[in-house]
Amino acid sequence: MSGSLEGSTMISNNVLEVAKSILFIVGSAVAAMIAFRNSLHSYIEMFWGASHDFWGALWKYIFAKFGNNEMLAYLVGTPIIGILSFLIFNAAFLCCDITGRPTWLLKYKVQDKNQPVDQKKLWKAIKTSSFNLLIINPLFTMVCYPIGKYLGAYHSGTLPTFEWFIVEIIVFSLFEEVFFYYSHRLLHSPKFYAKYHKKHHEWQAPIGITSVYCGKLEMVCSNLLPLSIGPLVMKSHVFTSWIWVSLVIFSTTLAHGGYHVPYLFSPEAHDYHHKVYNCWYGTLGILDRLHKTDRPFKGSVEERRHYVSFSLTPVRELIPDPPKHCRTPSPRQCSSNTEQSAD
């Protein structure tokens, strides 16, 4: 009886902690948005809300290039935005992975592996990633368009206000956290791992382009679907969706990139996931905290490095590796479904 009460209390505490995390994220974003709007109102009007703002003019220009055809803009523009974002954000990392230049970037490497990157392995990743971006991505977009139209999404007309855009991005992030966490964790179960997800984990020290190095099912269910749920539910303007797609590709490129570059998001958590396989399944860490799948990460040197660095000194120098006999946790300390059990 006491055991069940302790279990219920623990679950309640976890739910409370997650609720606090969500409130903190949303509350901070709203407070920052209000402060930003109040202090920089004229700039916001210039770049977002006014009739002659930069983004509105840019959207009208792009939409005109598609003949003011909203179906064409969505079906062609959306995959193109994804492909261009992927190429642009991966260019510097991939160049450094292949050539070792620029040399200043190398000192920000998270792991010592893959330098220089194995050419045969890289070519395999390029072929798979290209297929997912050039074939699976457009096909998925074709499925999403009629669903969006049915739900009431609009792909032409004026852009949303700056405030509503921020609200949408927050909601998109929460939807992505939920759908990515559970789909990703399911792929790590013994029943699905070897067949559907092990391919992605061939890279224990990932590089940027491996963010979409995966099978077709994983690409749809764990990459594209979590990305698309928010805009569909929120009936978002296609231009908002394009910005969201670019932000997600930027984020996942950093997460897989293998470089902890100053002033950019930390890749330490997801890089750690690739090292030990079964911890840190989500994007924001909210559900990992709820389900305690962040436990192996807690207390590790990688967790101490998991922050946005504002120093040009690499975090590996600021927080050096401990002696080998002190390094924790090992893969055996991860949650129950390890790679070995999946095999």
Q: Quote the pLDDT of residue 40.
A: 53
Q: Whole-model pTM?
A: 0.82
**d(C-alpha 228, C-alpha 317), whole Å:** 39
Question: Worst-scoring range by mean pLDDT, 237-246, 280-289, 333-342?
Answer: 333-342
Q: How confident is the model at residue 196 (pLDDT cuts 50, 70, 90)?
A: very high
pLDDT at 37 over 60: no
- The residue that leads in pLDDT, 126 or 114, is 126
**d(C-alpha 218, C-alpha 200), whole Å:** 9
**d(C-alpha 12, C-alpha 63), whole Å:** 49
- The residue that leads in pLDDT, 251 or 10, is 251
| Structural tokens at position 53 | 């703002």
- The residue that leads in pLDDT, 19 or 290, is 290
Condensed to tens digits (0 to 9), the pLDDT of residues 73-123 reads 999 999 999 999 999 999 989 999 998 888 899 999 998 777 788 899 999
Helix (H, G, I), strand (E, B) or coil at 116: coil
Q: Quote the pLDDT of residue 159.
A: 85
pLDDT at 327 over 80: no
| SS3 per residue for 261-280 | CCCCCCCHHHHHHHHHCCCC
Q: Quote the pLDDT of residue 137.
A: 97
pLDDT at 44 over 60: no
Q: Quote the pLDDT of residue 33.
A: 47
Q: C-alpha angle with apex 201: 180 to 126, nearest 5 degrees?
A: 95
Q: C-alpha angle with apex 197: 233 to 222, nearest 5 degrees?
A: 5
Q: How confident is the model at residue 42 (pLDDT cuts 50, 70, 90)?
A: low
Q: C-alpha angle with apex 316: 312 to 322, nearest 5 degrees?
A: 155
Mean pLDDT, all residues of the chain? 83
Q: How confident is the model at residue 286 (pLDDT cuts 50, 70, 90)?
A: very high
pLDDT at 234 over 80: yes
- Residue 288 and residue 181 in contact, taking contact as beta carbons nearer than 8 Å: yes
Q: Quote the pLDDT of residue 175.
A: 96
Which element (helix H / strand E) includes 288? helix 286-291
Cβ atoms within 10 Å of 334's Cβ, excluding its own: 22
**d(C-alpha 184, C-alpha 178), whole Å:** 10
